[in-house]
């Protein structure tokens, strides 16, 4: 995967010019993952049983090198937190990222913590926010947000007026009621919903209704991580406005050559040419897919299409600046 990125002649590809012409000169990626180095495990774990176990150690400096290769003219910052599978290594990861952020001005760390060990107010002062992961030993429909963001933790975050990044237990449609209650109760928390509220593909009958509902809360935001459907972004622009959307990629997951689709039963699947046990469906013709389905590009191109379809050209620049940097500065800096 990494070899593909560095071995490709990006500057002679049509997407290179399209992305370079579209992106503002300053980009903040608000959803990236990293972990401290270790000699015991490889950077990529090809035997991973879940997406979260796939990248055991991804050097955070590598993000900068990748962006310099693909879009060399862009000033790139990132908000970074640990991987979902780092159970028992949360504090080690937090300390590493916080220390790195002191040396590298283009990094902003978000803390991760196990639900049973909530962070203290003093501890969180070194971070711009908090992210926790839902328990994986229970079905999604039995998990609530407060099962992994406890009321005690939310109270601390509210007092600090910081952000939380939530990967909802199911998605925005199923978790809307609890989210509305919590965002009203903790008005000083900035709730950032990962993956556009876990809505990878547009659901025209339900998604707009959920967006209308959360538009009543000034403290709810969405990030674009791993979403490549322009219709998802168009609905968010229409019902929430551009100041509620933050660019996020989910790198290094977004460095996969892949895309989301619905199978014959209407169930969401990830198609990719990567060889992981958790992959639901593979590409039949791998060579024809690269770099067309390089997920990182798909996210940006979908945003480009959505912005162009949604607004007049004289406002496109303002919307781009907001989504790709200004909103992150307002919410996470």
Convert the pLDDT of each residue in 250-287 to its tens digit. 999 999 989 898 888 888 888 888 888 988 877 776 66
What is the distance between the alpha carbons of residues 255 and 109, in angstroms, rounded to a whole number?
Answer: 20
Cα 104 from chain centre? 21
Tell whether the model's pLDDT for residue 224 goes beyond 80.
yes
Helix (H) or strand (E) holding 32: strand 26-33
In whole numbers, what is the pLDDT of the chain averaged over residues? 90
Structure-derived torsion over alpha carbons of residues 2, 258, 280, 56, reported in degrees to the nearest 10: 30
- CA angle (185, 145, 208) in 5-degree steps: 80
pLDDT confidence of 205, banded at 50, 70, 90? confident
Region 123-140: what's the mean pLDDT?
Answer: 89
Q: So what's the pLDDT on residue 167?
A: 95
Phi–psi pair at 146, nearest 5 degrees:
-70, -5
- pLDDT at position 95 is 93
| Stretch 196-213: mean pLDDT | 92
Residue 175, pLDDT > 90, answer: yes
User: What is the value of pTM for the model shown?
Assistant: 0.94
Segment 26-71, tens digit of pLDDT? 999 999 999 887 766 788 888 888 888 888 788 888 888 998 888 8
Question: Token pair for residue 177?
Answer: 């009621």
State the pLDDT at residue 287.
60
Whether the pLDDT of residue 199 is over 80: the answer is yes
Residue 146: per-residue pLDDT: 95
Q: Which of 312, 187, 191, 175 is nearest to 246 (CA)?
A: 191
What is the pLDDT averaged over residues 123-147? 90
- Domain with 154, as residue range(s), is 2-332
Bond preceding residue 34 cis, omega within 30 of 0: no
Q: Is it the case that residue 289 has pLDDT exceeding 80?
A: no
Cα 74 from Cα 48, distance rounded (Å): 33
pLDDT (mean) for 73-89: 87
Q: Based on the structure, what is the number of domains in the chain?
A: 1
Q: Nearest to residue 245, comparing CAs of 196, 176, 174? A: 196
pLDDT (average), residues 83-97:
85
User: What is the mean pLDDT of the segment spanning 209-225?
Assistant: 96
Could you give the 3-state DSSP secondary structure of residue 131? strand
CATH number at residue 308: 3.20.20.140
């Amino acid at each position: 995967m990494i070899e593909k990125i560095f071995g490709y002649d990006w500057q002679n590809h049509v997407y290179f010019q399209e992305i370079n012409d579209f992106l503002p000169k300053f980009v903040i990626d608000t959803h990236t993952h990293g972990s401290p180095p270790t000699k015991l495990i490889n950077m990529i774990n090809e035997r991973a049983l879940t997406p979260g176990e796939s990248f055991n150690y991804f050097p955070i400096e590598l993000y900068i090198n990748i962006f310099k290769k693909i879009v060399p003219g862009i000033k790139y910052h990132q908000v970074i937190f640990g991987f979902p599978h780092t159970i028992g290594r949360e504090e080690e990861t937090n300390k590493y990222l916080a220390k790195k952020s002191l040396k590298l001005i283009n990094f902003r760390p978000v803390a991760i913590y196990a639900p049973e060990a909530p962070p203290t107010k003093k501890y969180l002062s070194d971070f711009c926010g908090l992210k926790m992961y839902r328990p994986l030993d229970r079905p999604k429909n039995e998990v609530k947000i407060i099962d992994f963001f406890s009321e005690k933790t939310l109270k601390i975050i509210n007092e600090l007026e910081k952000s939380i990044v939530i990967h909802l237990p199911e998605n925005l449609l199923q978790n809307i009621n609890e989210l509305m209650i919590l965002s009203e109760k903790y008005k000083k928390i900035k709730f950032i919903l990962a993956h556009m509220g876990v809505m990878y593909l547009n659901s025209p009958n339900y998604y707009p209704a959920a967006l209308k509902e959360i538009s009543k809360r000034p403290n709810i935001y969405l990030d674009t991580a791993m979403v490549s459907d322009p219709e998802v972004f168009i609905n968010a622009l229409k019902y929430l406005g551009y100041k509620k959307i933050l660019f996020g990629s989910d790198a290094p997951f977004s460095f996969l050559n892949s895309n989301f689709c619905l199978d014959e039963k209407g169930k969401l699947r990830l198609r990719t040419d990567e060889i992981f046990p958790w992959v639901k469906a593979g590409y039949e013709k791998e060579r024809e897919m690269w770099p067309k389905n390089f997920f990182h590009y798909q996210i940006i191109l979908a945003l480009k299409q959505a912005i162009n379809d949604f607004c007049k050209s004289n406002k496109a620049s303002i919307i781009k600046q907001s989504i790709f940097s200004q909103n992150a500065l307002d919410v996470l800096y």
